[in-house]
Structure 1
Amino acid sequence: MAEADRLTIERGPFNGYGLMRNAGSAIAAELLRRYPDAPSFDVLSGPGNNGGDGYVVARLLAEAGAGVRLFAYGTPRSGSDAELAARDCPLRAELLESFAPEKGHVVVDALYGAGLSRELDDVVARVAEACREAGVRVVAVDLPSGLSGETGMPLGTSFEAELTVTFFRLKPGHLLEPGSSLCGETLVVDIGIRDDVLEAIRPKTFVNRPDLWSHAFPRPARDQHKYSRGHAAVFSGGTSSTGAARLSAMAAARAGAGATTVYSPASAISTNAAHLTSIMLRKVDDADDLREIFSDREPEAIVLGPGYGLRRPVREMVLAVLEQSGKGLLVLDADGITAFREEPQALFSAIEQSAREVVLTPHEGEFARLFPDIPGISKLDRARGAAALSGAVVVLKGADTVIAAPDGRAAINANGTPWLATAGSGDVLAGIIAGLAAQSMPAWVAACAAVWLHAEAGTRFGPGLIAEDLPGLLPPLLGELL
């Protein structure tokens, strides 16, 4: 964001203070629109550019006839844009130490923005705690003070906002938990920074939404047959754990794979056959069975892990899939990940030597078992590090799922929903990834699209959702995308 500011100032038409005035104007307009009956706006301004935005907001609110109280913490640096904003604000600023939240007032947190890298000073921390305890409405400028814009983690005590107004683009801290929750609703406003500055910055972090991957979304042609639309296969667990594979297989089929097959051990053939209709069934007990099937018809995408069972030779089956000459995709989930917890390097080496693309879909516990040495508290950094180490696309699941590619690209999902916290939900996600990849969608964008579709389906269904509902929710979503 600092680079975006610098490039904009260098190219014009706005200088730094012009951008600050634009930011303050956008914030003040939003405050007046949302809180017309507020008895007062209590603007808390820090010493930097975030505080400069606050001085502009206070001035414009006063000019509009609103009640305003201004509290300052520190003095803007001489010659800075924040100093100009403080000079142009006619309101007398009281010391932040004297601030006490009052019922009904709206607090404007303009103390520190997304660039903060240390804990709040005691004075500011006490104010943040007082606002929480009083339950007052807080509107944050750029990011709630005390929250890391890089990681989304509080650096100690932080403000909690019901609305955050930020500029030009979201920052990771707006999307990663607990930052997303602490920001409340986040509004991105235009302050005059042109989109073309991104060409110079070349960012590799994205919000996961359709405009990121719709260019690669599979669109069937009239002259296709089932196999040319893509063949996906899912490995089944034993007799008592076949449901996870069927969920994945149905999700792959609903995501558009023209043909879907369940690879079942002999002991579970009858169980699976009793539940499958359009989905095909083949016996696979060992690597020899797998080689025989692949010599006949090799699927473009494979899911291995859901309900598979750790007492079976899961590692051997994973390695057998990776050793085959095919260039499709392997999605490793659940037991397919956990099986390598004692020797993750064996998996990473096999991925490196394989022609297949691989997607790993761990939750936090599985991630810790497979990547115990990945440092840092940032979910974004951990997912990126894991993708670089493993050579696979890593889907680090959660309310703020991160999808990272080995080349450094990463997307943070923003449409997560608590309704997906239900047994079998992850099995469905693995199947959607495979279904899209079977149709020649590249691994990273297929994973991004699948995560978004999965969450959007859960959101639209809402309370009472179970995993069995999810595949049937995909057709209308696909229809909208197509």
Structure 2
Amino acid sequence: MPQPERLELLTPEEMGRADALAIARGIPGIRLMEAAGRAVARAALRRFRPVRSLVLAGPGNNGGDGYVAARLLEQAGWPVAVAALAPPRPGSDAALAAAAWRGPMASFSPAEAARAGLVIDAVFGAGLARDVDGIVAETLGAIRAPLLAVDVPSGLDGGTGQPRGFAPQAGLTVTFFRLKPGHLLLPGRTLCGETILADIGLPDAVLAEVAPRAFRNAPGPWRPPASGPDSHKYSRGHLTILGGAQMTGAARLAAGAAHRAGAGLVTIAAPDAAAAALYRAGDPGTIVSEAGLDSLLADERRRAWLIGPGQPADAATGAALRRLIEAGRQVVADAGALTACAGAPAALTGAAVLTPHAGEFARVFGPVGPDRLAAARAAAATTGAVVLLKGADTVIAAPDGRAAINDNAPPSLATGGTGDVLAGTIAALLAQGMPAFEAACCGAWAQGEAARRHGPGLVAEDLITLLPRALETARVN
């Protein structure tokens, strides 16, 4: 995975533009191709023993990288053959690379793929414009040996992480300059296996012209708020959480997370006396109020609010959401508050952050579809809110088109209550003055880091105690 200073994600189209800009600056395309093939050969030499190797080469630049890798591996003493799907276009950089290959050629066939001890997949890159089927799918499907993919496994859409037709399982993928969204979005992240990001000589200056709008989520572009010597509980923000009458644990989890994430004061607004008694039996540091919503809104210090965890998806919840938004508060809407707006995304306009899982997203905006990045961006543009689409490949999208893909969430987070913890964390960061997009990015990353620190057997309550160390890691990294 990339180092923190290489967090930009380039779509296949943006990567093509970066290549073109580098060539326009005077870097020959064949030099970039030689560097890419060298990175692939180096990865093979480091990760595998010399075995009968087969390079599956397509007719484009991806195939050209494969010809270079084959030549360098043969020079290192490896038994290598190239199986060409089709010859490169005459006069292209790939044609130059193919002309420099003097080793054996093999048929592009399932039988040849099945016999190899190592296969280097250089058929199609991330910008594939059609589904993989026919002889290509049959040949890729016949591979029984370790597979090293060049850029992406052939058939994987580098923009969405979705297979187009068929895409094989790689053990190792070598890509160049910057990762693409498909390297992080599922199932692409899994199909790529381990991903190596190689420098092939493209100048970082081309990024300013490409102007990517997607990033891998990690500290650097954002940092959690830090307290100073003059900080006090009001300067660290007062978060108010609307609590439900039945599922009281959800608001309590959110409140616990908000405390640990740095909010100066946390209030749970209870809907009735019975619920208030349950809330008061919890964390003594949490204020419990039975005052009405209008009374609580009269306190201008209550700038950040969380609505939804443990609340019913009914008209009353929807009305409370609109009242908060109309009062100009920064609102995180989760769970019941989202479903209360089913089929009516305009009702969420003006919220700061929305935190749906795929089911809640579908109820409000329609099915996510195969392109999670595009779906989250469209929802953010529709509502004017930052949309955090939860999952193992959480996507955070801002209304201005910025987006981040979070890839540090372990499977142990798939347990009840973790969404409440996440919502409370983000709301606490908002209360401390963090902008909405950065707060959502920070909350998602910190939760993944806290879960990683815990390991197996995680329950939502464990995240709360581990949040401070995760946030401190984000401050210093």
Aligned partner of residue 276 in structure 1, secondary structure: coil
2:401 is matched with which residue: 390, 404, 408? 408
Shift of residue 297 of structure 1?
Answer: 4.5
Does residue 260 of structure 1 match 2:266? yes
Alpha-carbon contact 1:232-1:261 (below 8 Å) kept = yes
C-alpha distance 466-103 of structure 1, shift in aligned 2 (>3 A): farther
Alpha-carbon contact 2:60-2:89 (below 8 Å) kept = yes
Provide, for residues 110-157 of structure 1, a one-character-per-residue CA deviation record: whole Å limited to 9, x for no partner.
0000010211241110012112xx3x2111000000111111111111
Alpha-carbon contact 1:259-1:279 (below 8 Å) kept = yes
**Residue of structure 1 equivalent to 2:344:** 343
Does residue 300 of structure 1 match 2:315? no
1:11 is matched with which residue: 5, 25, 37? 25
**Residue of structure 2 equivalent to 1:245:** 251
Does residue 32 of structure 1 match 2:45? yes
Q: How does 1:219-298 map to 2 (within 5 A)?
A: 219-238=226-245, 240-266=246-272, 267-284=274-291, 289-298=292-301
Provide, for residues 8-33 of structure 1, a one-character-per-residue CA deviation record: whole Å limited to 9, x for no partner.
11113x31000000011111011101
**Residue of structure 2 equivalent to 1:210:** 219
Gap regions ≥5 residues in structure 2: 1-14
Aligned partner of residue 213 in structure 1, secondary structure: coil
C-alpha distance 311-382 of structure 1, shift in aligned 2 (>3 A): closer
Alpha-carbon contact 2:393-2:406 (below 8 Å) kept = yes
Alpha-carbon contact 1:38-1:104 (below 8 Å) kept = no
Alpha-carbon contact 2:110-2:138 (below 8 Å) kept = no
**1:39 counterpart letter in structure 2:** V
Aligned residues: 460
Provide, for residues 460-480 of structure 1, a one-character-per-residue CA deviation record: whole Å limited to 9, x for no partner.
212100001001011112222
Shift of residue 49 of structure 1?
Answer: 0.2
Distance in 2, matches of 1:426 and 1:186, equals 29
Provide, for residues 425-450 of structure 1, a one-character-per-residue CA deviation record: whole Å limited to 9, x for no partner.
10000011011111110000100111
C-alpha distance 402-98 of structure 1, shift in aligned 2 (>3 A): closer
Fraction of identical pairs, as percent: 49
Shift of residue 342 of structure 1?
Answer: 4.2
**Residue of structure 2 equivalent to 1:90:** 102
Alpha-carbon contact 1:394-1:404 (below 8 Å) kept = yes
Distance in 2, matches of 1:375 and 1:447, equals 19
**Residue of structure 2 equivalent to 1:354:** none
- With normalisation by structure 2, the TM-score equals 0.94
Shift of residue 104 of structure 1?
Answer: 7.3
Alpha-carbon contact 2:125-2:151 (below 8 Å) kept = yes
**Residue of structure 1 equivalent to 2:171:** 162
Does residue 310 of structure 1 match 2:310? no
Distance in 2, matches of 1:53 and 1:204, equals 27
- With normalisation by structure 1, the TM-score equals 0.93
Shift of residue 398 of structure 1?
Answer: 0.6
Distance in 2, matches of 1:367 and 1:376, equals 11
Aligned partner of residue 313 in structure 1, secondary structure: helix
Distance in 1, matches of 2:123 and 2:115, equals 21
C-alpha distance 92-314 of structure 1, shift in aligned 2 (>3 A): same
Aligned partner of residue 42 in structure 1, secondary structure: strand
Shift of residue 212 of structure 1?
Answer: 2.3
Distance in 2, matches of 1:339 and 1:232, equals 22
Alpha-carbon contact 1:71-1:99 (below 8 Å) kept = no
**1:188 counterpart letter in structure 2:** L
Q: How does 1:432-447 map to 2 (within 5 A)?
A: 432-447=425-440
Alpha-carbon contact 2:53-2:116 (below 8 Å) kept = no
Runs (4+) of structure 1 exceeding 4 A deviation are none
Aligned partner of residue 130 in structure 2, secondary structure: coil
Distance in 1, matches of 2:344 and 2:412, equals 34
* Superposition CA RMSD, Å: 1.5
Shift of residue 98 of structure 1?
Answer: 6.1
**1:333 counterpart letter in structure 2:** D
Provide, for residues 53-91 of structure 1, a one-character-per-residue CA deviation record: whole Å limited to 9, x for no partner.
000000000001112121111010010000000000111
Shift of residue 309 of structure 1?
Answer: 1.8
Provide, for residues 141-177 of structure 1, a one-character-per-residue CA deviation record: whole Å limited to 9, x for no partner.
0000011111111111112101110000011111111
Aligned partner of residue 113 in structure 2, secondary structure: coil
Distance in 2, matches of 1:89 and 1:186, equals 26
1:152 is matched with which residue: 161, 172, 183? 161
Distance in 2, matches of 1:268 and 1:38, equals 68
Distance in 2, matches of 1:72 and 1:103, equals 16
Shift of residue 102 of structure 1?
Answer: 4.5
